[in-house]
Structures are given as C-alpha cells and as structure tokens.
Amino acid sequence: MSAAQPTPTRRSLLAISAAGGALGPALFADPGHAEAVVAGGGSSAIRPFRVNVPQADLVDLRRRIAATRWPERETVNDPSQGVQLATTRKLADYWANGYDWRKVEAKLNALPQFVTEIDGLDIHFIHVRSKHEKALPVIITHGWPGSIIEQLKVIDPLTNPTAHGGTAADAFHVVIPSLPGHGFSGKPTTTGWDPIRIARAWAVLMPRLGYTRYVAQGGDWGNAVTEQMALQTPPGLVGIHTNMPATVPPDIDSAALAGSPPPAGLSADEKRAYDQLSFFYAHGLGYAQEMSHRPQTLYAIEDSPVGLAAWMIDHDEQSYELIARVFAGQPEGLTRDDVLDNITLYWLTNTAVSSARLYWESKLAFFAPKGVQLPTAVSVFPDELYAAPRSWAEKAYPKLIHYNRLDKGGHFAAWEQPQFFTTEIRAAFQPLRA
C-alpha cells in the first residue's frame, strides 16, 4: 500500500466503496493484507468507509486473552503499584467470554463515515449533518488513549437537539476525525505529524466538507490540536471549546513539576489545581514519558491484548479508579462495553505504537498557555488531570466567552458525562452562532 493508505498489519478492517455505490466486504490481497476499493476524484476525494472486522481476528483476540501469562498479585492493597490484578482479570474474563465487538461495529456502520487524503495521509472521520437548517459545524478531536468511541454518545444530542431537551437553535453538524496513527486513519510513515500539522489538516478537512464557518472542540491531544487551529486562524474558524485547557502559569508549572510546596498567594481553586498537577507529575506521567521518548519500544502492547488494556486504563488515577469500579460491578458514566469498545478498536487497528508516536512528535508544553486570541470556551470537569481555575483561564484565553465548573466528570468528559458535555457545547458556542 502507498503511504496514503491505512496500513493495518492484521487482516483488513476496511471496506470502502466507490462514491454512491454499495458498501461491500473488503478484498484480500493475501492473508495478511487487504486492498481498499476507493472512489475516483483524485487525492481530495471523499470516500465512504465501513468497518468490517474478519471473524478470525476476533477469534484470535479471544485466544490471546486466554493465553495471557499472568503476573503475581501486587504486594499492596491499593493501585499505587499500577493496574491491579483483580481488575485486569475481571476485564480479561469479560473481554474473552462476554464482550461483543459486533455491537459497536454496528453503531459505527450506522453512522456516515468517510476517508479522505490530506497532506499525503488518509484521514478517517465521522460526519453527521443535522436536519436543522442553521446548524453550526463543529469538528471534535479525541485524545489518547481515546478514539472516536469517546464521542459516540454526543453525536445525536448535538445534531438532533430537539430529541434531547434542546431546540433547533442548538443544532450542530458534527465532524469527528480519527487522529493520524489512531483508529482507522492512516499511519504516518515519516516524521512530522505533530499537533501543529494535524491542525493544518483539520483546516483542510472542514472546507473540503463545504464548511466556510465553523467551530472546534477538543480535550487531551484534541485540545492541543484545537488550540493550534486557533493559533493558525484558518479562514472560517470562529471559536474553540476545550475540556482540558492549557492555562498553567510557567512558575506554577515549574514548581509543580519539581514537587515544591505551593507558591504563596494561591486562591482555593488555584491551590487545588496545583495539588492535582503536582500529583500527576509525580505519579501519573510514566506512560507519557515512555511514549514521548521511546514509543517504538512498546512492542508488548501490540502483541498482548491484556497488556494493551492495562497500559490504556492506567492513564490517570481518577479514570483508572472509575474503570476499576465499572469492572467491579459499579458502572457510573462508563460501562464495561464502553471501556472495551475503545481498547478493542486500538487492538484491531494495530495502533498501539503508531498512536504513541504522537507523544514523540509533539514538542509543545502541554499545559502552558499558548496565546490563543480566538473566542474560547472552557468547561472544567472536577476529575480532570487538573481543574483549571477561572483566573488562569482568563489569562490564557483573553477572549474567554464561557467558563463553567461541572459537578461531575473527568478526563473523558464526552464519554463519561455526555449530557453535561452536550449542555456545555451548546452554551459555549451560543454567542458565536450567526
């Protein structure tokens, strides 16, 4: 395959039809690779996309889970040594014996999905247009270890607000791309695909879809990409929303990274944010450090589904504790299927290492203010890596048009708390509607 095509090393997950044609099964060139049937129209063509996972891949997944070589139990009674054995065994048991990938595959295939080439790489995206005439286009970007799975629950509330407690004036046309190297997008074969370049690609995608005026939203890497879009000020982008803002003053960030006592004079909200940052820097950065320095070393999580799952659910303490409760029979916001839909997507697309390279590519200071001058909205969820105080947000975003602190929710806001997230998006962009 060319560098512009998705390159899964397992059997094909793709079936792409000619424009307007029926979406059929993937065509296999050999047992390990597949050809994509694509539409004409040159490199800017928008080709329909359908997920089609061979049953053999699902059988192989269950076989690998069953063959896991387990370590002994941790020597403490808390998660301070990492993902606990009891949680991982419960996850693996359900994954092998109760989970059904076909359910989420059907959900994905019920949505309009497409692939288009931008800057030499195939970009996969969901694109759902609202029936409401004055809907505002929004591009929503996921992060790691997230995917398009994160946003599935908010698509209908955003595009069809009258069925979800809103009015026609709340409607959005929704575009949700898969980051390069993630999910069904192509895997870069050369360096350079950092958030800055991805932002430029998104600024190509939206006009290609016919949108001349739109907004952007993101959290985690999605925030990094969305902020870079705002800095690049492409024609048509009128504002952004973030649920993981970059607002930390340099002196605060340096002190937190060093593990120093909090600087004097912090407000209560600033002190809480400082404590959250200090804890994350001291206890939660291991995954990011490894991926930012040696992503190619992570062969084990490409080869072991249980290893991949443990790596992904250890993103931050609050998210892990939520997921552990889910597998202990206490679903709240997320279900077991939610968690495994996302992990299984990474497994089936063979994107553990290709997604990790984004940490190696990016040279941005993640939480540092970037000087965004476009209208910006901020939603603060209490269990995010840090809860950005209004005082910091106002300095980071001089044109702050919305700031709200939510009562519940964490790093995966749209996934965990879709109703709160939807309400926030409606309120955030209301001032920017034409």
Point out the residues that are catalytic: 220, 359, 411
Q: DSSP string spanning 182-232?
A: STTSPPPSSS--SHHHHHHHHHHHHHHTT-SSEEEEESTHHHHHHHHHHHH
At 264, is the secondary structure helix, strand, or coil?
A: coil
Phi, psi (rounded to 5 degrees) for 263:
-60, 155
Ramachandran sector of residue 367 (left: φ over 0; alpha: ψ -120 to 50; beta: rest): alpha
At 174, is the secondary structure helix, strand, or coil?
A: strand
Ramachandran sector of residue 325 (left: φ over 0; alpha: ψ -120 to 50; beta: rest): alpha
DSSP state of 112: -
Instruction: Return the H-helix or E-strand segment holding 28.
Output: strand 27-30
Closest CA to 145 of 343, 294, 307, 360: 343
Spatial contact of 83 and 310, defined as CB atoms under 8 Å apart: yes
Q: DSSP string spanning 225-249?
A: HHHHHHHH--TTEEEEEESS-----
